[in-house]
Structure 1
Amino acid sequence: MNDIRSGYLAIVGRPNVGKSTLLNHLIGAKISIISRKAQTTRHRVTGIRTDADAQFVFVDTPGFQTKHTNALNRAMNRSVTQTLNDVDVVFFVIEAGRYDAKDKVVVRLLPKDRPVILVINKTDAVKDKAGLLPFFAEVAADFDYAAVIPVSAAKGRQTDDLLKEARKHLPHSGLLFAEDDLTDKSERFLAAEYIREKVFRLLGDELPYATAVEIEKFEIDGALRRIHAAIVVDRDGHKAIVIGKGGESLKRIASEARQDMERLFDGKVYLEIWVKVKSGWNDDERLLKSLGYE
């Protein structure tokens, strides 16, 4: 590992272009939660990949918000702009065949003093592959990109090309993290994220945006983890929906989250979840800080 290159790489883009799917594929583990709903990612999530000649420290960011301006969205946007100032390389992810004003808002944030690689994701979903060439040219004209790499994060196509290109731009330095580290996030953080992912996946379209997760107790006893968590909602009506008829929704959220945790933590998990109401939590700076938002 004499010629090791190590550095930080930001993954940015508008909501729902596949940033978290890309991160999880690149590091080979589910660190960043995903769902079909936009804005699933709310925190900066760091994933670490160590190869024979490079260590890539990826920072997955929330999708940049252009519509809503509550305290939660302001915090997420701050997270994106701060990350862009802190990294060595930027992956700007867009969706193949789709490039509009929301993407161009992010283009205006891209740093001009460090390499930005344009990652065109979801190429597997495009039937007319020949039509992608003029699309590449149109998008690439808006910024001086170090490279343009088409990929399919979901299928793992051409992600090796992306890593090869990124490595060229990393500084020569020793390892930033231990070789077997996958993330700098705590198990407590990951547990909360897994629960929140199930809320996004299993409940209706609007409700997940009015929820957060608070870990109230996290104990490790040998290979067993005891986790007590609260799903925080905005009003009483939401509480009933999260619990579901006869408690069915909450049971399913807990069961699926627990299975994911056991896979990641490689041990048994005792998980207890309840629901509590904190009105206006997503527009309360103090409360957001207590829930771990930067």
Structure 2
Amino acid sequence: MNQSFKSGFVTLIGRPNVGKSTLMNRLIGQKIAITSKKPQTTRNRIQTVYTDEEKGQIVFLDTPGIHKAKNKLGEYMVNVAERTLNEVDVVLWLVEPTNYIGAGEQHILEKLRRVKTPVILVINKTDMVKKEEILSYIDTYRKEYDFAEIVPLSALRGQNTEILVDLIFKYLPYGPMFYDEDTITDQPERQIVAELIREKALHALSEEIPHGIAVTIERMKERENGKLIDIDATIICERDSHKGIIVGKGGNMLKKIGTNARYEIERLLDSKVNLKLWVKVKKDWRDSDFLIKNFGYREDEDY
């Protein structure tokens, strides 16, 4: 065993849409976390694994965005995110490049002041601003909190992401791997497939619907010849009117979601896929403890 090998847990936090999932996918080099410009894209804590055979292994926890909760699902998501802060070796806080620290960021700063974990501030989306402005953004945040490190980068372009990885290793304890080197995620395939379908629905649908959808996989079975995987999935929505929009005129919208999702799922599973989608209405499922658990959001899981 390499004596200089380090391993530990790192969580990514930040307001919705700052690019947490994009950064995760960039670092791991494979699409695990779904990305969308709509808030509340990431609902569960997704574990992904980065292994460097020389330096060590980083287990990333991509948590739901920390925000003020509006319903049971929101409360669940915030609890998961906040609990993680004390359980990891390093906290990565992603922010956008700006001199204005808004209420959402102040809310996160309050949470960070209560933790003893080293915090690395990541100023993302630096490809969107002038180079000379970046120093002033660093200065704005430096005055608010004693960060272990501050790293400006672009997750989308992959700028400075290697520097970030090196800095994370600096703060990890020495120790053996948690996962073998081929592992890139602890998410079961069914969960990733459900998330990919939800991502494609988020991309295709209008603003007001996506928050209120969940996806369940009813069946996922490989055929005997091993050349095709049959997947039956249900998109759950909150209203009959939403169901009509998701299905679309003559089933067009559902077909579009299915086609886009199938393409990604085939890449993930490296197999041809026969995907069948249904849409069901479960009124106000986001405020029902039973239904939230039923759709795979469990707060009491051991990580």
User: What's the TM-score once normalised by structure 1's chain length?
Assistant: 0.96
Match of 1:189 in 2: 191
User: Helix, strand or coil for the counterpart of 2:16?
Assistant: coil
Secondary structure in 1 aligned to 2:85? helix
Instruction: Report the CA distance between 1:54 and its aligned residue.
Output: 1.2
* Residue number among 261, 266, 285 corresponding to 2:265 in the alignment: 261
Structure-to-structure mapping, 1:41-80, within 5 angstroms: 41-52=42-53, 53-66=55-68, 68-80=69-81
In structure 2, the gaps of 5 or more residues are 299-303
How far the C-alpha of 1:223 sits from its partner, in A, is 4.8
**Matched position secondary structure for 1:165:** helix
In structure 1, the partner of 2:294 is 290
Q: CA deviation at 1:262?
A: 0.7
Aligned length: 292
What CA distance in whole angstroms lies between the structure 1 residues aligned with 2:145 and 2:220? 46
For residues 81-92 of structure 1, the aligned pairs below 5 Å read 81-92=82-93
CA contact (8 A) 2:51 2:57 kept: yes
Name the residue aligned to 1:247.
251
1-side partners of 2:208 and 2:240: how far apart? 15
**Is 1:36 aligned to residue 37 of structure 2?**
yes
SS of equivalent to 1:119? strand
Please list, as runs of the form range in 1=range in 2, the aligned pairs for 1:18-167 lying within 5 A after superposition: 18-52=19-53, 53-66=55-68, 68-97=69-98, 99-110=101-112, 112-127=115-130, 129-167=131-169
Of 78-87 and 256-265, more deviation after overlay is shown by 78-87
Instruction: Tell me which residue corresponds to 2:231.
Output: 227
Helix, strand or coil at the partner of 1:270 = strand
Taking the aligned partners of 2:76 and 2:228, their CA distance within structure 1 comes to: 34
List gaps (5 residues or longer) in structure 1: none
Residue 271 of structure 1 pairs with residue 272 of structure 2: no
Matched with 2:301 is: none
Q: Percent identity?
A: 45
Deviation of residue 47 (structure 1)?
1.1
Cα deviation code 1:223-264 (max 9, x no counterpart): 532211100010111000000011010001011111101111
Structure 1 residue 112 displacement after superposition = 3.3
Is the 8 Å Cα contact of residues 43 and 63 (structure 2) preserved in structure 1?
A: yes
Task: Tell me the CA shift for residue 214 of structure 1.
Answer: 1.0
Moved more, 48-57 or 21-30: 48-57
CA RMSD of aligned residues (A): 1.2
Matched letter for residue 246 of structure 1: G
Cα shift readout 1:43-72 (whole Å, capped 9, x = no counterpart): 111111111221111111111122x42011
1:166-214 CA distance string (max 9 Å, x none)? 0011111111001011100000000000000011100001110111111
Amino acid at match of 1:161: I
